[in-house]
C-alpha cells in the first residue's frame, strides 16, 4: 500500500550522559547523572539527564540533584558540558540531513525527516532507519531511537515507545490502536497540569480522550482542547520544515497616481501597520525598529528608521513613529510613488508595553 507521507523521528538515547560515557569510558556501566547548575554542594542544581543505569534508581531529568543523590549515593555526578553536546549534536544533525530532502531539527537531540519522496513504503523507511542507526553508532558511538509513521505527532510518540535503541513503526491503519492505550501525556503539549485536569475528568488514556466531545474539551481547555481532540485521533498535518527565524515584517504599496497628500499616505500606512501587527501577534513577537521606505516619482528611493527603547507589538507606536518619519520625507517637494513600512529588531521577549517617550 502506498502511504501518503512517511515521517521519521530520531531521538538520541540519554544524550548528554551518552556523550559523557563516550568521552570517559570509566563512566560506562555505572549510574551517571549529568547536572545543570551547581552540583558540587548537591543542593541547588537539577538533573539534566541520567543514563539508563541511573534511571533504574528513579532518577530523571529536572529532578533536584539533592534528591537524585539520596536515591543513588554511589552514582557519578558531573556538570553539563553544553559546548561539547552542541558540537556532537551539530555533527549528528548534518549526518541525518542527507537521508531526506525535508528535515527539521526539533531539539538538541531530535530530528524529523520526511522520507516520503525517498521511499515507497514503510519497509523501505525501516531500511533507512537501520542505516541511520548504524551510521550514528559507528561514527559517533551513540545510540538513538527511531519512530516512523505518517505524521510528526505519531512518529515522535513512536520513537519514545521502545527506548533505548528502539525502532517503532506505526503505519496509518495502526495509529489508533497504537495510541489508544497510551496516556494523554504522550501527546505534544500535554504537560503534568493538563494531565491532572484530564484525570479529574476521568480521562486517563488516549482512548478515553477520543471519547470526549470536542465541545467538552474546548470548554475545559480552549484552543488546546481542540488540538487534543485531533491529536487523540492521530491527526497532524504539520509539515516537516526547518524553523526559519523571521527577522522583519514589511509591506509596500504603490499608488496609482503619485501623491503628497498626508492623509492618504497615513491611511495607507495604517492598513499596512494593522496587517503587520496581526502577523506579530500570531508569532507572539515584538519589534523595536520601525522603518519607512519612500520611493519618489523619479524612482529615487530612501529609507528612514527609528529604534525605540523597549519592544512593543502595537500599531499605535508603529504609526506614531511612521508619521514622524513620513513628515521628514514630505519635506521634499517630489511626490511619492511607493511607500513601505517595516518593523525589525524582533524579539519574543515579553516586556511591559511602554508608551513612547
The H or E element that residue 193 is part of is helix 192-200
Residue 108 or residue 264: which is nearer to ligand TTP going by CB? 108
Q: Can residue 21 be called a binding residue for ligand TTP (CB under 6 A)?
A: no
- On whether 109 is known to bind a ligand per the annotation, the reply is yes
Half-sphere exposure of 195 (CA within 13 A, CB side): 12
Q: Can residue 62 be called a binding residue for ligand TTP (CB under 6 A)?
A: yes
Stretch that binds ligand TTP, among 13-21, 149-157, 182-190, 347-355 (CB under 6 A): 13-21
Q: Looking only at Cα atoms, what is the longest distance across the chain?
A: 81
Residue spans of beta strands (DSSP E) within the chain: 7-12, 32-36, 46-50, 76-79, 102-107, 110-114, 144-149, 167-169, 248-259, 287-296, 301-312, 336-344
User: Is 241 in the active site?
Assistant: no
- Strands of the sheet containing 46-50, edge to edge, are 46-50, 32-36, 76-79
Residue found by looking up cell 515584538 in the block: 286
List 3, 21, 53, 110, catalytic entry:
110
Supply the minimum distance, in Å, between the C-beta of residue 147 and Mg ion: 12
Residue 6 or residue 14: which is nearer to ligand TTP going by CB? 14
Residues 61, 66, 205, 250: which binds ligand TTP (CB under 6 A)? Answer: 61
99 DSSP 8-state letter: T
Contacted entry of ligand TTP, Mg ion, none for residue 108, CB cut-off 5 to 8 Å set by kind: ligand TTP
Q: Can residue 3 be called a binding residue for ligand TTP (CB under 6 A)?
A: no
Residues 20, 21, 53, 109: which binds ligand TTP (CB under 6 A)? Answer: 109
Q: Which residues contact 142 (CB under 8 A, 6 or more apart)?
A: 12, 13, 15, 18, 19, 22, 88, 92, 136
Q: Around Cβ 24, how many Cβ atoms within 10 Å?
A: 12
Stretch that binds ligand TTP, among 12-20, 92-100, 284-292, 314-322 (CB under 6 A): 12-20
Residue 14 or residue 228: which is nearer to ligand TTP going by CB? 14
Binding site for ligand TTP (CB under 6 A): 11-16, 36, 48-49, 61-62, 108-109, 163-164
Active site residues: 110
Amino acid at each position: 500500500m502506498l502511504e501518503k507521507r512517511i515521517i521519521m523521528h530520531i531521538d538520541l538515547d540519554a544524550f548528554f550522559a551518552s556523550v559523557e560515557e563516550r568521552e570517559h569510558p570509566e563512566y560506562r556501566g555505572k549510574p551517571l547523572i549529568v547536572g545543570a547548575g551547581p552540583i558540587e554542594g548537591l543542593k541547588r542544581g537539577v538533573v539534566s539527564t541520567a543514563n539508563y543505569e541511573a534511571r533504574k534508581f528513579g532518577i530523571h531529568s529536572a529532578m533536584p540533584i539533592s534528591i537524585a543523590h539520596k536515591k543513588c549515593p554511589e552514582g557519578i555526578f558531573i556538570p553539563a558540558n553544553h559546548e561539547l553536546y552542541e558540537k556532537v549534536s551539530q555533527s549528528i544533525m548534518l549526518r541525518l540531513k542527507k537521508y531526506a530532502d525535508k528535515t527539521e531539527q526539533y531539539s538538541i537531540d531530535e530530528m524529523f525527516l520526511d522520507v516520503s519522496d525517498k521511499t515507497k513504503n514503510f519497509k523501505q523507511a525501516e531500511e533507512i532507519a537501520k542505516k541511520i542507526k548504524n551510521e550514528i553508532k559507528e561514527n559517533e558511538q551513540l545510540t538513538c531511537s527511531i519512530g516512523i509513521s505518517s505524521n510528526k505527532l505519531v512518529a515522535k510518540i513512536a520513537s519514545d515507545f521502545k527506548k533505548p535503541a528502539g525502532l517503532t513503526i506505526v503505519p496509518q491503519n495502526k495509529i489508533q490502536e497504537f495510541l489508544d492505550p497510551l496516556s494523554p501525556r504522550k501527546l505534544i503539549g500535554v504537560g503534568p497540569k493538563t494531565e491532572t485536569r484530564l484525570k479529574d475528568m476521568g480521562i486517563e488514556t488516549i482512548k478515553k480522550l477520543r471519547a470526549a466531545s470536542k465541545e467538552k474539551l474546548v470548554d475545559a481547555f480552549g484552543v488546546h482542547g481542540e488540538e487534543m481532540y485531533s491529536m487523540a485521533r492521530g491527526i497532524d498535518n504539520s509539515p516537516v520544515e526547518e524553523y526559519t527565524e523571521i527577522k522583519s515584517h514589511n509591506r509596500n504599496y504603490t499608488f496609482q497616481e503619485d501623491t503628497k497628500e498626508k492623509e492618504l499616505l497615513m491611511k495607507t500606512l495604517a492598513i499596512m501597520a494593522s496587517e503587520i501587527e496581526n502577523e506579530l501577534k500570531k508569532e507572539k513577537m515584538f519589534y523595536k525598529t520601525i522603518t519607512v521606505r519612500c520611493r519618489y516619482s523619479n524612482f529615487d528611493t530612501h529609507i528612514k528608521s527609528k529604534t525605540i527603547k523597549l519592544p512593543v507589538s502595537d500599531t499605535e507606536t508603529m504609526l506614531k513613529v511612521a508619521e514622524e518619519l513620513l513628515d521628514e520625507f514630505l519635506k521634499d517637494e517630489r511626490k511619492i510613488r511607493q511607500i513601505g513600512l517595516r518593523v525589525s529588531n524582533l524579539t519574543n521577549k515579553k516586556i511591559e508595553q511602554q508608551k513612547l517617550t
